[in-house]
Amino acid sequence: MIKKIKIAFFSLLSLAVVSSAYADLTFVSWGGAYTAAQQKGYINNWSGKVNVENYNGGLGEVKAQVESGNVTWDVVDILPDQGVTGCDEGLFVKLDQSEFIDDMIAGPVSECVAPQIFWAYTAFYSKSAFPGKKPKTIKDFFDVKKFPGKRAIHTWANATIEMALVADGVKKKDVYKVMSTQEGIDRAFAKLDTIKDHVIFWSAGAKPLEMISSGEAVMALAYNGRIGAAILTDGKDFDYIWDATVLEQEYLAIPRGSKNEAEARKFVAYASSPESLAGVTKHITYAPMRKSALKVVQKGEPWFHNGVDVLPHVPTSKKIIKKAIIADPMWWADNGAEVSERFGAWKGN
Amino acid sequence: MSIKEFVKFDKVDKSYDGEVLVVKNLNLDISKGEFLTMLGPSGSGKTTCLMMLAGFETPTNGEIYLEGQPISNIPPNKRGIGMVFQNYALFPHMTVKENLMFPLEVRKVEANEIEKKVKTALDMVELGEFGNRMPLQLSGGQQQRVALARALVFEPRLVLMDEPLGALDKNLREQMQYEIKHIHENIGITVVYVTHDQSEALTMSNRIAVFNEGKIQQISSPDVLYEKPNSSFVAQFIGENNQLNGKVTSINGETCVVETDTGENINALKININKVGDNSLISLRPERVYINSKEKFDNNFDAVVKELIYLGDHIRTRLEICGNDQFIVKVPNSHIGLKLSEGSSVKLSWKTEDSRALEAR
Amino acid sequence: MSEITNSGILTTDGIPLKESLKKAERKNKIRALLLVAPLLLFIFFTFVMPIGSMLTRSTDDSYINNVFPKTFKVYQKWDRVGLPSEEIYATMFLEVKQASGFEIGKASTRMNYAKSGWKSMIKKSKRKFKKISENDGPFKDKMIEVDKKWGDPEYWLALGVMVDPTTYEYYLNSFDKKYDSEKNIIDQPEERRIYTKTWIKTFKVSILVTFFCLMLGYPISYLLATLPLKYSNLLMICVLLPFWTSLLVRIVVWMVILQQKGVFNNFMVISGLIADENRWQLMYNQTGTIIVMTQILLPFMVLPLYSVMKTISPNYMRAALNLGASPLHAFWKIYMPNSVPGISAGGMLVFVIAIGYFITPELVGGKDGQMIGNWIGYHLKTTLNWGLSAALGGILLVIMTVLYWIYNKLVGIENIKLG
């Protein structure tokens, strides 16, 4: 009898050891359509099991986990300034970047990150709102005389500052140079002042699309993937203003102290392969960060999952990237807090 | 308006749900200065009558008159009727004095007048030094007196009391009964008092209206009610009462003969039986029964002592007689007292006029 | 007799009574302690410890002082005029070069709070200093060559605020003040003054929300407490129904109703009460925040009010009427004072929840509806400036404590009734 119990005990124990060797990876991303695209694009084809969790961004949770020594996340989908700060503060482990470092359109921002996608703050409108002349440039977005009506913008400062400067006549390549001076920031806020009375604010990504659909606003800034989905799958009559669209980078990183670090490293290499990145673009119109992945998309057109060409909606495609600004995460890491406070003050007044 | 119709219930019906009548065709006159008690078991409609009088309920039909004026359309705060509530309803956030000042202040009585009246009222209930206490710092009896003082301080035409002594213990309750009675006698105000306690009713009232099932069963002075109940309900409800079942065998004017189930013939007053052959219930007060008396009585029967309970001033004796083993006789504990023992046989006797033949229910 | 008074009363067995009593009670005390022990431990580990550690962060500046101890030592000697001496440059150079990557990273995040730009400067320097030998001084010009910001006195001056391992800078920041390089307290530049305004706004919104909750909640609670049970249960469900639906769903519904092309404005336009071009802005501003928060927090007002009103005997109102008071007077003088424990409990509850609210203001606050909680969240998540978050949170805690104290003085905490 006791022998039997012993056998059962040891077999259970060995089972536990084996299963912990093949422990599930915890992959943390933003949820919604983007994470769904990641799942369909590559996670589902991964050999191991992956638990997908959602979070609201920021480094707060990662910092708390690393500092307490109880790290439950294995791979985190992060923004570039988190990639910078998190790497600086030792919240993330360094990665082998040799595979992709020469294949990237921009970045990587630090030694701790692997490429994922570009997403963009893009201005857009409903064609029906402007039956005559249609807005084409960011100047038009800031011109409430020529194109009257409410503008919907997000409650934080990113991209809006850059766009305001371009609308005020700054060349795209000089934007961050101008922004690095006090006068440059003043200039951006002065430009923002011109539309202040015509602005409504959103903080959840679905809102700008609703606002345009309902006529609450005539033009809005939104995440380009949302606009793409509205046009490609919902058949909305929206159109982009690609001028001065601000591209933001999106990376993967592994928190220091992950319990499955080796497995996580393999997964991150897989997740940042050209095929995986192109796989994401199959389901959402965010842009792969690797040139080779863009080629995969180009060859595969019509690449979008419902059989339409996707490149006209992808902000790194040849025609669009010329009009775009690639956001400088270093500038935002340096100045983000200060500009945000100022933006908050500007909003409230 | 005559003095007899100070308050008049005229064909009053009350129903809450449109299906059951809680008060049925109530007609009642209360004269000025009278202490009238509405007595009855719970659910008999007595409190509803009081609430209609106070203005918290409206009669479904009929009208109530106060000093000859219909009051159904007068809101409660304009009726000038004082009320002592069950559990007193003293305002817990005000001192005793403030509680008493409240009715005077809303009547815009002058400040020094208020002071005087409050003092008089507090003195009346012997709580002169308690004016600055909060109600919850007082004992139950003291709270009761404050409630009484508050109901009287603004000199209402009429005072209503809704089971005001229900929450007090027995000794205090008896003491308060006398106090209320004395206050009533001293200031001569009209009081309508609701209770389910018959001894309370007997102690205090000029007249008692016995309620049952929404109707007044009998209304008369305490002694009449006790001595001469005109229904078996009243006989049972008021005081202690022995009951003997039987059939009417003959009727002779005011009296009749009832034969019990075990064959004894009892001579009794004919109260509300109609004809020979009717079932009847004979009501007999325990204190009107004599044990082994040498005097001559109309009714003499043998009985067996079943139980003796020593109660100090008297011995409560349970006997079996005429097939009823719940027959109670109170034997005074006087020095000439009888020496009874359980199981012994005795002779019981009583007068014809003390046994009342009522309808059997 | 005198013996007894000297040693206290003795039991029959001659043991002092007090001692005997203590012994008898000890078992009970231990038992009681064991019973509450799990709760105490739980509260300690989930409440006292985290809050304590958060509060220490609000004044802690030791990290940076451990990374640059020598630099700060020589820095003290600097007269704060022009650029510092070569000694300071050299010490800084060596300490940046020798520190580990993490230390430098964390330190640069801290330095960036004092002056934007430190982060990239330190990061760049750490990389490029590798190529410069430690014996290759003087370093001043070499450093300025690496990043010209090393030649900007502003950055050097900003170091001054960090020289102590304990700092009140985060608390100063919370009220739009800061240190200059000699630790004098000065105002933040005009365009960065945001927190004082936000504090005022947070108070204003919380007070208004509490007020509206009371105005709406009082009659409902009264009805709930006085209706017969079968109706009051139904009404109670109506009150609690929004409680059971997801917060986000409720907020989205409010958006549909309140936006400019929303149900409410459409109704107002169709009924001709307002002109089409003058639609009210009820969303994405303070008005929206107040409306939505009032609805969300209403149950927190209704429940304590209801439970208190339930205990107010209907006889009080009857007695007041009977004594001659008009219904209004009776309500004001008798009913209302007796419901004060409910009002204060509900008011405290709503106010305390409202003052720390951030989800609703984030979603519907738009341009001027955001509260202090939003900034706490921002610094907690985005800038990782936990010191400032902790300071803002600490101030919130102090405000609550003060309110609680005032409340206790005025109303008495024993008068709070939640049920």
C315-343 confidence digits (pLDDT tens): 899 999 999 999 999 999 999 999 988 89
Instruction: Give the contacts of B347 (CB within 8 A, at least 6 positions apart).
Output: B291, B292, B293, B300, B301, B302, B303
Q: Kind and range of the H or E element at A289?
A: none
From B155's Cα to the closest Cα of chain C, the distance in A is: 11
Give the tens place of pLDDT for each residue, B234-258: 888 888 888 888 888 888 888 888 8
Angle at C288 between CA C388 and CA C367, to 5 degrees: 50
Q: Which residues of A touch C106 (CB under 8 A)?
A: 88-90
Task: Residue A284: give the domain boundaries.
Answer: 24-118+249-314
C-alpha of B153 from chain center: 26
By DSSP bridging, strand B345-350 and strand B290-291 are: antiparallel
- Do the Cβ atoms of B8 and B52 come closer than 8 Å? no
Domain boundaries, chain C: 2-57, 62-178, 195-415
The CA-atom distances, in angstroms, between B54 and each of A246, B1, B58, B128, B216 are 78, 20, 10, 29, 19
Q: C115: which 2 tokens?
A: 């002056």
Neighbouring chains to C with at least 3 Cβ pairs closer than 8 Å: A, B
Residue C289, judged by CB atoms within 10 A of its CB (0-12, 13-18, 19+), counts as: buried
pLDDT at A76 over 60: yes
Q: C105: which 2 tokens?
A: 């990273």
pLDDT at A222 over 80: yes
Q: B90: which 2 tokens?
A: 């003293």
Residue B349 backbone dihedrals phi, psi, to 5 degrees: -145, 150
Specify the pLDDT at position A9: 55
Cis-peptide, bond into residue A208, ω within 30° of zero: no
C-alpha of A266 from chain center: 22
Hey, what amino acid is at A130? F
Whether A57 has its CB under 8 Å from any CB of chain C: the answer is: yes
Mean of the pLDDT values across residues C116-120? 87
Hey, what amino acid is at C315? N
The answer to whether residue A193 is domain-embedded is yes
Whether B135 has its CB under 8 Å from any CB of chain C: the answer is: no
Q: Distance between CA B104 and CA B115 in Å, rounded?
A: 10
Q: Distance between CA A21 and CA C221 in Å, rounded?
A: 58
List, in sequence order, the alpha helices (H) in C174-228: 195-226
The CA-atom distances, in angstroms, between C104 and each of B47, C66, C93, C99, C199 are 85, 11, 12, 6, 34
The CA-atom distances, in angstroms, between C231 and each of C223, C228, C234, C245, C311 are 10, 6, 5, 22, 18
Nearest residue of C to residue A56, measured between CA atoms: C381
- Do the Cβ atoms of B204 and B180 come closer than 8 Å? yes
pLDDT at C251 over 60: yes
pLDDT at C271 over 80: yes
pLDDT at A6 over 80: no
Mean of the pLDDT values across residues B33-41? 92
Q: Distance between CA C18 and CA C37 in Å, rounded?
A: 27
From A333's Cα to the closest Cα of chain C, the distance in A is: 7
Whether A342 has its CB under 8 Å from any CB of chain C: the answer is: yes
C285 or B143, greater pLDDT: B143
A202 and A337 assigned to the same domain: yes
Specify the pLDDT at position B240: 85
- Do the Cβ atoms of A141 and A217 come closer than 8 Å? no
Mean pLDDT computed over every residue of chain B: 88
Q: Distance between CA C291 and CA C272 in Å, rounded?
A: 23
The CA-atom distances, in angstroms, between A131 and each of A147, A312, B173, B266 are 11, 23, 91, 113
CB atoms within 10 A of CB A250: 22
A213 and A328 assigned to the same domain: yes
The answer to whether residue A173 is domain-embedded is yes
Q: Distance between CA B36 and CA B28 in Å, rounded?
A: 11
Specify the pLDDT at position C6: 52
Specify the pLDDT at position B95: 92
The answer to whether residue A242 is domain-embedded is yes
Mean pLDDT computed over every residue of chain C: 85
Q: Distance between CA A295 and CA A306 in Å, rounded?
A: 19
Strand B158-162: give its sheet, edge to edge: B81-84, B158-162, B190-195, B35-39, B207-212, B215-220
**CATH number of the domain to which A176 belongs:** 3.40.190.10
Give the pLDDT band of residue C165 (cuts 50, 70, 90): confident
Mean pLDDT is lowest, of A8-12, A336-340, B293-297, B336-340, for A8-12
pLDDT at B17 over 80: yes
- Do the Cβ atoms of B38 and B209 come closer than 8 Å? yes
Give the tens place of pLDDT for each residue, B93-151: 999 999 999 999 999 999 999 999 999 989 888 888 888 999 989 988 889 889 989 99
DSSP-assigned beta bridge partners for residue B301? B348
Q: B124: which 2 tokens?
A: 């009346």
Domains in chain B (CATH in brackets) are 3-232 (3.40.50.300), 240-359 (2.40.50.140)
Give the pLDDT band of residue A164 (cuts 50, 70, 90): very high
Specify the pLDDT at position C41: 93
Pick C380's closest partner by Cβ from A60, A204, A214: A60
Query: Do chains A and B touch, with touching meaning 3 or more CB–CB pairs less than 8 Å apart?
Result: no
Pick A216's closest partner by Cβ from C108, C198, C259: C259
Residue B84 backbone dihedrals phi, psi, to 5 degrees: -110, 120
CATH number for C195-415: choose from 1.20.1050.10, 3.40.50.300, 1.10.10.10, 1.10.3720.10.
1.10.3720.10
Give the pLDDT band of residue B39 (cuts 50, 70, 90): very high
Specify the pLDDT at position A19: 46
Residue A13, judged by CB atoms within 10 A of its CB (0-12, 13-18, 19+), counts as: exposed
A183 and A97 assigned to the same domain: no
The answer to whether residue A1 is domain-embedded is no
Q: Distance between CA C209 and CA C60 in Å, rounded?
A: 35
Q: Which residues of C touch A204 (CB under 8 A)?
A: 363
The answer to whether residue A104 is domain-embedded is yes
Whether C378 has its CB under 8 Å from any CB of chain A: the answer is: yes
Give the pLDDT band of residue A246 (cuts 50, 70, 90): very high
The answer to whether residue A13 is domain-embedded is no
pLDDT at A17 over 50: no
By DSSP bridging, strand B265-270 and strand B356-359 are: parallel
Nearest residue of A to residue C194, measured between CA atoms: A345
What is the ipTM for the molecules in this complex? 0.80
Q: Kind and range of the H or E element at B245?
A: strand B242-252
Strand B290-291: give its sheet, edge to edge: B290-291, B345-350, B299-310, B314-321, B324-332
The answer to whether the CB atoms of C119 and A334 lie below 8 A apart is yes
CA atoms within 13 A on the CB side of A269: 12
Specify the pLDDT at position A2: 56
- Surface of A (172-211) touching C: CB under 8 A: 189, 199-204, 207, 210-211
Place of tokens 């956030």: B93
Residue C14 backbone dihedrals phi, psi, to 5 degrees: 90, 0
A210 and A335 assigned to the same domain: yes
The answer to whether the CB atoms of A344 and C370 lie below 8 A apart is yes
Measured distance between the N- and C-terminal CA atoms of chain C, rounded to whole angstroms: 53
Instruction: Give the contacts of C268 (CB within 8 A, at least 6 positions apart).
Output: C274, C279, C280
Pick C318's closest partner by Cβ from B82, B89, B92: B89
The answer to whether the CB atoms of B93 and C324 lie below 8 A apart is no
Q: Distance between CA B278 and CA B268 in Å, rounded?
A: 14
Give the pLDDT band of residue A190 (cuts 50, 70, 90): very high
The CA-atom distances, in angstroms, between C396 and each of C174, C301, C351, C403, C416 are 11, 21, 12, 11, 22
CA atoms within 13 A on the CB side of C50: 10
Closest to B1 measured CA to CA, from B203, B185, B157: B157
Cis-peptide, bond into residue A108, ω within 30° of zero: yes
The answer to whether the CB atoms of A63 and C384 lie below 8 A apart is yes
The answer to whether residue A16 is domain-embedded is no
Q: B127: which 2 tokens?
A: 């709580």
Tally the domains of chain A. Answer: 2
Neighbouring chains to A with at least 3 Cβ pairs closer than 8 Å: C
A214 and A237 assigned to the same domain: yes
Q: How many Cβ pairs closer than 8 A exist between chain B and C?
A: 63
pLDDT at C3 over 50: no
Q: Distance between CA B238 and CA B226 in Å, rounded?
A: 6
Instruction: Give the contacts of B17 (CB within 8 A, at least 6 positions apart).
Output: none
Q: Distance between CA B187 and CA B99 in Å, rounded?
A: 21
Q: Distance between CA B97 and CA B95 in Å, rounded?
A: 5
Q: Which residues of B touch C319 (CB under 8 A)?
A: 83, 85, 89, 91
A140 and A219 assigned to the same domain: yes
Query: Do chains A and C touch, with touching meaning 3 or more CB–CB pairs less than 8 Å apart?
Result: yes
- Do the Cβ atoms of C375 and C396 come closer than 8 Å? no
Residue C83 backbone dihedrals phi, psi, to 5 degrees: -95, 150
Question: Whats the size of chain A, residue-wise?
Answer: 349
Specify the pLDDT at position C4: 47
Number of H helices, E strands in chain B: 8, 20
CB atoms within 10 A of CB A4: 8
Closest to A245 measured CA to CA, from A225, A231, A229: A225
Place of tokens 């519904």: C253
